[in-house]
Amino acid sequence: MVEKWTKTSRERNCRLFVNLLKKTMALEILKPDLPNMPDEVIEVWLVPHYQRFGWPPSANRDWRYIFGLDRPFEYFQSMTWEKTEIELTPSALTRSAFQTIIGLVQTHYFGQLTPYSGMSDSKERLDRCVDYLKEHGTYPKPVILLSTPEGYEILDGNHRVTAFFYLYGYFNTPNCDQAVPCLEVKQEQPFWAGTPSA
């Protein structure tokens, strides 16, 4: 029994080390092109996409869906960033950001067909976020926001924000968990907010 545990433990530690190494190498590749962007923002938001699409962004058209169809890469290079804790409400989001949240709720809590229905692991991700928030009271990692005159856009963290709004009772969902609203979840959550240069 001890031998089996040791082997499993070694394998897990090896996987953690390899993931950390990959993340560190990715950060070294991306950081020179994004000197103003905090390491945590790069790690949380861009590294997973870099691992799928490569670098630089001009090499793969899929990056335009990450940065936005109407925003060149240079838009993000000159941005200023601030890490803060804010009480995010639906009214603080842009209309399109809130529509994404509504789409995830319609898909996963009402069973409706939406553009998010085809996301293979979307429900599992949402469930993990709900469970984590219920247990810890905070996000597993900060949500990445873009500050605009119309409100916040969510660059990374739609599932986390959806889970937060769900647990706060913003949505009247069928078969609602008895623990909603969940008062153990902190109202102020960690965010990175990027502001475009003037």
Task: Write out 121-180 in H/E/C secondary structure.
Answer: CHHHHHHHHHHHHHHHCCCCCCEEEEEECCEEEEEECHHHHHHHHHHCCCCCCCCCCCCC
Chain segment 24-77, per-residue pLDDT in tens: 688 899 999 999 999 999 999 999 998 888 888 887 788 888 888 788 888 999
Q: Tell me the domains of the chain and their CATH numbers.
A: 2-69 (no CATH), 80-195 (3.90.1530)
Chain segment 96-117, per-residue pLDDT in tens: 999 999 999 999 988 889 888 8
pLDDT category at 181 given cuts 50, 70, 90 is low
* Dihedral pair phi/psi, residue 43, rounded to 5°: -65, -45
pLDDT category at 182 given cuts 50, 70, 90 is low
CA distance 54 to 59: 7
